[in-house]
Structure 1
Amino acid sequence: MTARCVMVLGTSSGAGKSWVATALCAWYRAQGYKVAPFKAQNMSNNARVVATPDGRWGEIGTAQYLQALAAGAVPDVRMNPLLLKPEADTKSQVVLFGQVNEELTAMPWRGRSARVWPQIAQALDELRAENDVVVIEGAGSPAEINLHASDVVNMRVARHCDAHCLLVADIDRGGAFAHLYGTWALLPSEEQALIKGFVLNKFRGDASLLAPAPQMLEEKTGVPTVACIPMQYAHGLPEEDGVFDDRGSTGAGQVVHTTIAIIAYPRISNLDEFQPLLQVPGVRVVWARSPSQLAGADWVILPGSKATAADLAWMRSQGLDAAVTAHAHAGGRVLGICGGLQMLGEALIDLHGVDGNAAGLGLLPLATLFAQDKTVQPTSFSLPALQAPWQALGSVQVRGYEIHHGQTQLRADMQAGASRPAQELLPGLLWQGGNPAVLGTYLHGLFENGEVIHALFGHGAPSLEQVFERLARGVEAWFEAGALAPP
């Protein structure tokens, strides 16, 4: 079999490519087709753990992981062969087929394409041979003409598989018709011919007021507008490639019983794992970048970081270190996950130039040594008995994943004489402080366990299958008949 390839392109980052591609995966699956997602190159610090062909564990972008689940497929490193994880404004760690590749990481951006394209093309061809449909996601915009010659993720992929391309614009930001026309106009004619439909995403208002713009756009380009998707504030999926939108996390219209402030440092990673919190009635999530945003918070979460020492320095420059410490001393809950756990300790020690040395916040008596090799693996366990205020989590079975260079140890010498010593509840995974309101773990995905949400808040969140079913129904309503022809 040779799969039909449907490609979702965007006029910009944040237009909704990931979300639309996920919806199409769910829709094609509902039609009875064997479906796989694909994104040649993803730049994101949101990643999930999947098995590699050689029996190891590797990383792919969260978007492709969720798209695979929507498609009813087993997530596979071939679905996102190249993952770039930004560590600074001009530096990214390169992950090829799930594994960190130091040689590619050291290469200039434009120098990588010739090296990686044959492997990207092979991965796509293998997925095409195994499926009826491959739903492909582009990156950024295909009209980034400064990168066209070294492109391995947009129109080069589309040409390789003769993809049926849909171009998505975020109409909520304004200028959508100009974005669509300008993107189309900057493509060479052979690539323009691959654009089969325009999609207006995030629309609010009366759709009849769009006329005559879609007709005029089709007259100029020959491309019809095949869908107008209403704004979806609570669709149940993480925002595209790590973009977060505070409008969906304010608890509007609800009585707020719990406010959770998540520290949004510059190199935040795996923020997608907090999406279930946005679905819990009465929970308000605040992405905090200043001490004032911690005022009134019941919880403070220090999430993962791709540059722990640098993000800790940023926290200090903002005064957030003192604010977090004061919150903990006042009895407020503090949860550190992965890099956030490392920050809660006493010291970050880097002997190999992996991340950097730094003094921690001192809320847990831990020392973290950064190793050259990265720990990447799925994790599951039953939570042990915890002290208040986390006691509701005792005996809850959880599943998640680990992605970290740091190796963290409880240091008895750092709590000598403490009247209430900290505890290592699970070796190398979970610690509770002498101040029991402070909890740290290397487990990503804690809140993606429905049992955890129920234990903490007495409510459930929609399951992913429910989310996918709703997306599939949405595709039926939003797209014109025949716009998504079967294979």
Structure 2
Amino acid sequence: MNTLTIKKKPIMVLGCTSDAGKSLIVTAMCRLLANRGVNVAPFKAQNMSNNAAITEDGLEMGRAQYLQALAAKIKPSALMNPVLLKPSAETFSQVIINGKVDSYLSNMPWRERKKLIWPNVVTALETLQTQYDQIIIEGAGSPAEINLRDGDIVNMSVALACQADVYLVSDIDRGGSFAHLLGTWACLAKEEQKLIKGFVLNKFRGDPKLLGNAMEWLEEKTGIPTVANLPYHRHQLPEEDSFRLGSTWQRGAINVALIYYPYASNLDEFDALTYQGDINLVPIQNNQDLSVFDAVILPGSKNSGKSLHFLETTGLDKELVKFSQSNKLVLGICGGLQILGNNIKDPLLLEDGDKKGLNLIDLTTTLAHNKATLQKKLQWQGSQLEAYEIHHGESHVLSDSVDSFICKDIGWQQGNVYTSYFHGLFDNAVFYNWFMKQLGGAENGINWKEHVDQELDKLADMFEQHGWL
């Protein structure tokens, strides 16, 4: 493996498992260093997530690296995440290279991709090295997954190429942290072990005295110190590739159902609804009576056809039709827009073939190779609204009963059914307030970007107190 030309040695955060907290730690480090005046940038060679963001120049990147760039107080760039995998079937992912769909690589067996993808990783990291004083690199999953080592372009291959100072993180809230750390270290090659500068315990709750001499025991076994014990930190920042499940219908609340079908995407755009506390957002994964809810949202989807098939299989399609007849608000975003329409045409078999929609709004959608990826700013109801597009579909009105919604040719409304290709609407106080007004709720919308920025500073403060920088 070629070694990169190094301007300043990068710091790399690896995890013993997925969801060990790597993304959040990198985010914290980026904001802490930025607050200290360091010209810092994040990097993750390859991300797998259907939560994506769009840069100012219309390129696609992982939501986590986008947030990390904001934490670093710099402009997000696709260079920070040169490879993005977006799952759209059980054994298929759309491959995004340097912000653009690569159909050739998407259809190639994954073990054969490395030789073609790796040069993009090297170029992106080398370019960032010339632009920033410090790079903070995030790994993926675990570097000890032996079955995946030969195709690795995101963990130890990157660490070795740039000779990064590596810190290995374990989620102590799950239990078994010291075994995870020791076992992961033992699975690495000698030259890889030499790069590990410290172990990190993450998501700790309780009295640190309960750890006893475990850290000394681990250092005796490995020669590597445990450099930080980070507390469990509750935050209101976007998740990398998941959504907070568990909310249920609550008596006396404004209850909004979020249809959580397979391949749902960009769910972080509903954080403003989740955290502002004026409504109770309930993810719906199984067939149930929707009539008790005040509104229903159908989110984006990486595969609208398969998401629609899920609704039909579970019977949720019939519940949605019944709900729409109650004159309560139905909102469809991107893939949700397509599902609510009359049909989805897929002549190129980009997703799941032609499908009949729910017929709740007179629209037809055709999936095309060209993918719309752009940021948008416009005036709506007397305020500026910022959003972004990220979709293959092109939708068209089929009847005069359909009106434009927010922006012509991007969103439509028919009766109580509202749709838009715009993501990020709830980040805008003007849209949040419009939505709450329809439900008879409090119009308490805030500037969500400012709120996220404050959360980043809180995260940095936590890391400054308990971290190792």
> Normalization by structure 2: what TM-score?
0.92
Task: Confirm or deny: 8 A CA contact 1:58 1:376 kept in the other structure.
Answer: yes
Contact 2:288 2:316 (8 Å CA) reproduced: no
Q: For residue 43 of structure 1, what is the aligned residue in structure 2?
A: 48
3-state SS in 2 of match to 1:334: strand
Q: 1:15 aligns with which of 17, 20, 26?
A: 20
1:147 matched residue in structure 2: 148
Structure-1 residue corresponding to 2:122: 121
Deviation at 1:245, TM superposition (A): 2.8
Do 1:256 and 1:282's aligned partners in 2 also have CA atoms closer than 8 Å? no
Secondary structure in structure 2 of the residue aligned to 1:290: coil
How far residue 348 of structure 1 moved from its aligned partner, in angstroms, is 0.7
Q: Distance in 1 between matches of 2:180 and 2:463?
A: 23
Would the alpha carbon gap of residues 293 and 155 (structure 1) be closer, same or farther in structure 2, given more than 3 Å must change?
farther
Which residue does 1:238 correspond to in 2? 238
Residue 280 of structure 1: how far off its partner (Å): 0.6
Q: In the alignment, does 2:452 pair up with 1:464? A: yes
CA displacement 1:197-219 (0-9 Å, x = unmatched): 22222222222212222222222
Matches within 5 A, 1:400-415: 400-412=387-399
Q: Which moved more, 1:263-272 or 1:424-433?
A: 424-433
Q: What displacement does 1:382 show?
A: 2.4
Q: Secondary structure at the match of 1:475?
A: helix
The number of equivalent residue pairs is: 453
Residue 412 of structure 2 aligns to a residue whose secondary structure is strand
User: Residue type of the partner of 2:152?
Assistant: D
Q: Which amino acid aligns with 1:321?
A: D
Once residues 122 and 142 of structure 2 are traced to their aligned partners in structure 1, the CA distance between those partners, rounded to angstroms, is 20
Structure 1 residues 284 and 201, CA gap change in structure 2 (3 angstroms): farther
Q: Name the counterpart of 1:175.
A: 176
Q: How far apart, in 2, do the equivalents of 1:208 and 1:331 lie? A: 58
Secondary structure of 2:372 counterpart: strand
Q: Is the 8 A contact 1:251 1:282 kept in 2?
A: no
Bigger shift: 278-287 or 89-98? Answer: 278-287
Which contiguous aligned blocks of 4+ residues in structure 1 show a shift greater than 6 angstroms?
none
Q: Which structure 2 residues correspond to residues 368-447 of structure 1 after superposition, within 5 A?
A: 368-383=365-380, 394-412=381-399, 421-425=401-405, 426-433=407-414, 435-436=415-416, 438-447=417-426
Provide closer, same or farther for how the CA distance between residues 149 and 173 of structure 1 changes in structure 2, counting only shifts above 3 A: same
**SS of the counterpart of 1:172?**
coil
1:66 is matched with 67
The unaligned stretches of length 5 or more in structure 1 are 384-393, 416-420
Question: Aligned partners of 1:331, 1:199: CA distance in 2, in Å?
Answer: 53
Seq. identity, %: 45
SS at 2:288's partner residue?
Answer: helix
Deviations 1:254-309 (A, max 9, x none): x9632222111111111121122221123222221013374632221111111101
**Gaps spanning 5+ residues in structure 2: where?**
1-5, 437-441
Pick one of 276, 280, 283 that aligns with 1:280.
276
Alpha carbons 1:256, 1:284 under 8 Å: kept: no
Pairs within 5 Å for 1:3-402: 3-51=8-56, 57-233=58-234, 235-240=235-240, 242-246=241-245, 257-292=253-288, 294=290, 296-355=292-351, 356-383=353-380, 394-402=381-389
Distance in 1, Cα, partners of 2:69 & 2:59: 15
State the distance in 2 between where 1:289 and 1:346 align: 23
Q: Secondary structure in 1 aligned to 2:236?
A: coil
- 1:419-463 CA distance string (max 9 Å, x none): xx3312332211111x22x11000001112234335534333562
Q: TM-score, normalised by structure 1?
A: 0.89
User: Helix, strand or coil: the match of 1:4?
Assistant: coil
Secondary structure of 1:342's aligned partner: helix
Retained in 2: the 8 A contact 1:4–1:132? no
Q: What is the deviation of 1:8?
A: 1.2
Distance, in Å, in 2 between the alignment partners of 1:17 and 1:27 is: 15
Structure 2 counterpart of 1:386: none
Quickly say closer, same or farther: Cα 1:219–1:251, change in 2 above 3 A.
Answer: farther
Residues 206/222 of structure 1: CA separation in 2 closer, same or farther (3 Å cut): same
- What is aligned with 1:453? 432
- Partner of 2:75, secondary structure, is coil
Q: Distance in 1 between matches of 2:317 and 2:456?
A: 39
- Offset at 1:230? 2.2
Within 1, Cα distance between the matches of 2:307 and 2:249? 28
> Residues 227, 331 of structure 1: CA spacing in aligned structure 2 closer, same or farther, 3 A cutoff?
farther
Structure 2 contact 56–375 (Cα < 8 Å) conserved? no
Change (3 A) 1:290 1:428: same
Q: How far apart in 1 are the matches of 2:393 and 2:11?
A: 40
CA contact (8 A) 2:289 2:319 kept: no
Q: Deviations along 1:345-382, whole A, 9 cap, x unmatched?
A: 11111112122211111111111111121111112222
CA contact 2:378–2:385 (8 Å) conserved in 1: yes
Per the alignment, do residues 290 and 250 of structure 1 end up closer, same or farther by CA in structure 2, a change over 3 Å counting?
closer
- Is the Cα contact below 8 Å between 1:199 and 1:226 reproduced in 2? yes
Distance apart, 1:48 and its partner CA: 0.9
- Separation (CA, whole Å) in 1 of partners of 2:421 and 2:403: 15
Structure 1 16/395 Cα, relative in aligned 2: closer, same or farther at 3 Å?
A: same
Instruction: Check conservation: 1:423, 1:432, Cα contact below 8 A.
Output: yes
- 8 Å contact 2:236–2:455 — kept in the other structure? yes
Once the 2 structures are TM-superposed, how far is the Cα of residue 113 of structure 1 from its aligned partner?
0.8
The alpha-carbon distance between structure 1 residues 273 and 440, as it changes in their structure 2 partners (threshold 3 A), is same
Task: State the distance in 2 between where 1:261 and 1:205 align.
Answer: 35
CA contact (8 A) 2:64 2:239 kept: no
Question: Structure 1 residues 427 and 142 mapped into 2: Cα distance closer, same or farther (>3 Å)?
Answer: same
